[in-house]
Structure 1
Amino acid sequence: MDAKRALKDIAAGRPAPVYLCYGPEKYKMREFIQVLTDALMEPEDREFALSKFDLSEIPLTSVLDDAETLPFMVPKKLVIAKNALFFTGAKENAKLDHNLDRLTAYLKSPAEHTVVVFTVDADKLDERKKIVKALKDMEAAVPFLSLSPEELTQWVAKRASQLGFTFTGGAADQLILYTGGNLQSLSAELEKISLFVGAGGEATPAVIDQLVARSTEQNVFILIEDIVNVRLDRAFVILEELLKQREEPIKIASLIARQFRIMLQVKELGKQGYSGQQMASQIGLHPFAVKVAEGQARKYDIDKLSRIMGELADLDLQMKTGKIDKVLGLELFLLRLAA
């Protein structure tokens, strides 16, 4: 079952007795659970109608015991159990014995007065397991996948509209780039921008530059984007900012190498006919980051990218052995790259 259909059923007053939530998009997963919570109970009832368990510390039997217990003063209760690693191939806490046979029995006749939500911090489930097949058969497994670049752009525009402002001149894409497409970060930054520009205001690229905080990784990502598009002045401003923040030049060089490695992987996977979503899954990146890397990689052929990786390896060795001043070595590399 997909999340949209599940939400539609919840809005119609037909929540499923069990949900298994998984996937990389944790923000959407939390939103889903919040909608479910709001639909099942009033805020004042949550103290005794909402239970939360951590299955990395508590056995599954405790969750099921609670699920089978009648609710107090409310028609339905909600039981949320996180870290349900037994649905995946991940290694579990050896000290805990999760009784999956009992869960299988519960699924055949779930308590009418309880909704159970299992969450797992994994992109995929282990579909070889009988318990996973059982949940999929009853359409209880709900994936929360990363939004595609197009969906992400639409999500940002919609959220901005709800907050009462609009974007101009590529500012929305700039915001997504600065946050790495992380919905939690995007949501927080959108709230900040709405307060700054006010109702009916416009968020420009200058506003995004002024307001949105960027991690070292994101700064390096943008630095590469500027170098690829021959915006040397901007690239060296970012480098100077990173150095002022006392970022180690070797770390910066390592992050640059990581980005070029991604570009090389994207280039090679593209030749094999992989789609953007397939590349993202293969490399373990957000689809928006893959889209940007695809655009950057178009400026180079595979041989050139391989040579750049070799130059970065040489630079790393020279930096670590003291054969070149770290900052000078980094600056000379960026100048050669732009040339």
Structure 2
Amino acid sequence: MTPEQAIQEATKGTLRPVYLVLGEERYLADKVVHALREATMLGGIAGFNEDKFTAGEASVDAVLSASKMVPMMAKRRFVLARGLERWEKKGDSEDDEGGGKSASEGKRGAKDASPLDALAEYAKAPASSTVLVLSATKLHAQRKIVTAAKKEDFLVNCEPVSRKALPTVVRQMSKERGHDIAPDVADHLAEIAGPELGYVADAIERLSLFVGEGKPITEDAVVTMVMKVRPGSVWDLVDALTRRRLDKALAVLAEVVDSKDGGLPLLGLVASNVRKMVKMDSALRAGANVNEAAARAGIPPFKAQETAQTLKSLPRGTLPTWVRLLAEADRALKGSKRTPQAVLETMVISMCR
């Protein structure tokens, strides 16, 4: 099930006895866990009916014992076990593939079965008065607990949101806080705050406080509160690159680069514009007209003709080379000891050649 479906179940109070919250998007996972806890604790006393464990620091027996306890002055107990991947020992990931036991497990006997197998066994007949939430960033797909969660539909997938879908998520999160946001502003915010939803949520919270209750989130607000770069400035930079105007490109770069953020947001905006050019070029080569190609690429209508002319003027192989240079700059910003300014200047010089 999706995180939204799990939260909806929590809102309705139709809770399952076991949930496996699996995925690398921690914002979604934490949101699901919070919703399940709030729904379980409703009308009860948390201190008497809640237990939280971390795999590796607590034993699976402690988790199971807490899950089997009877709630005190409440309808349900809430038990959370985080970091299940810590119980997935090296060399042990095949123990329960296909639902069978390994040779070593057969020798050890049932008492020495892996913690994850013990959880899978519990899930077959869980306590109806407990909501057991199991959380992990990643587990082997053939683990018994994972296959059981898929089969019995208690698996909650919390995978990262794709770049394509992120602007829609930004608009949804803004709406939930009572703010309208234009599609182009949402795309801008997604590019500089994403892809992790935690950072996006933090940015939207700051923007919400800045613009005021019920007011729209504007480009000016994003520029002021999140990153002091306007989309127009990035287009100026890309325009200077396409015209091989190194002096202009370096001048624009000096105005917009912010060494405090490591240079990655700016690089992301440049990369976004280059990706749009690649998409428009591909659409034009496939026979689309200029306006249609621009729409497919996400380029504003007023930029359609100008971008088409730019694409015609670029020497063959320019865009693939730019994509490679952007990737190299991304690696350098994340792993090099050079300053962001130096890395981006080197990239700009190479792109103007």
Q: Normalising TM by the smaller chain, what interval? A: 0.5 to 0.7
Q: Secondary structure at the match of 1:118?
A: strand
Q: Summarize the alignment of residues 1-339 of structure 1 with structure 2, pairs less than 5 Å apart.
A: 1-42=1-42, 45-85=45-85, 98-122=114-138, 125-149=139-163, 151-168=165-182, 170-212=184-226, 227-230=237-240, 232=249, 233-239=251-257, 241-242=258-259, 304-305=321-322, 308=325, 331=345, 333-338=347-352
Counterparts of 1:227 and 1:206 in 2: how far apart (Å)?
19
Measured at CA, do residues 28 and 306 of structure 1 come closer, stay the same or move farther in structure 2, by a change above 3 Å?
closer
Q: Distance in 1 between matches of 2:328 and 2:175?
A: 46
Q: Percent identity of the aligned residues?
A: 24
Q: For the residues of structure 1 that align with 2:186 and 2:116, how far apart are their CA atoms? A: 46
Judged with a 3 Å threshold, the aligned counterparts in structure 2 of structure 1 residues 302 and 54 are, in CA distance, closer, same or farther, namely same
Superposed displacement of residue 116, structure 1: 0.5
Change (3 A) 1:9 1:90: farther
CA shift digits 1:175-195 (9 cap, x unpaired): 212212322222222122122
- Whether the aligned pair in 2 keeps the contact of 1:169 and 1:205 (CA below 8 Å) is no
| Residue identity opposite 1:304 in structure 2 | T
Q: Do the aligned partners of 2:44 and 2:74 also contact (CA within 8 Å) in 1?
A: no
- Name the SS for the 2:135 alignment partner: strand
What displacement does 1:309 show?
8.2
**Unaligned runs of at least 5 residues, structure 1:** 272-290, 293-297, 321-325
Shift of 1:78: 0.7
Quote how far apart the aligned CAs of 1:52 are.
0.6
1:42, CA displacement in angstroms?
A: 3.1
Q: Deviations over 1:279-330 (max 9, x none)?
A: xxxxxxxxxxxx99xxxxx985576358848998xx99xx99xxxxx97796
Does the CA-based 8 Å contact 1:71-1:113 persist in structure 2? yes
Change in Cα spacing, 1:191 to 1:65, as seen in structure 2 (3 Å) is: same
Q: What is the rounded CA distance, in whole Å, between the counterparts of 1:226 and 1:89 in structure 2?
A: 52
- Unaligned stretches of 5+ residues in structure 2: 93-111, 242-248, 283-297, 300-310
2:240 is matched by which residue type in structure 1?
V
For residue 284 of structure 1, what is the aligned residue in structure 2? none
Counterpart CA distance in 1 for 2:31 and 2:150 is: 22
> Which digits, 9 at most, give the CA deviation of each residue in 1:44-82, with x for residues without a partner?
722222211000311111100110111121110110000
* 1:210–1:30 Cα change, 3 Å: same
Paired with 1:234 and 1:2, the residues of 2 have a C-alpha distance of 43
- TM-score, L = length of structure 1: 0.66
**How far does residue 98 in structure 1 lie from its aligned partner after superposition?**
4.5
Structure 1 89/128 Cα, relative in aligned 2: closer, same or farther at 3 Å?
Answer: farther
Look at both structures and tell me which one has the larger radius of gyration over its CA atoms. Answer: 2
The aligned length equals 283
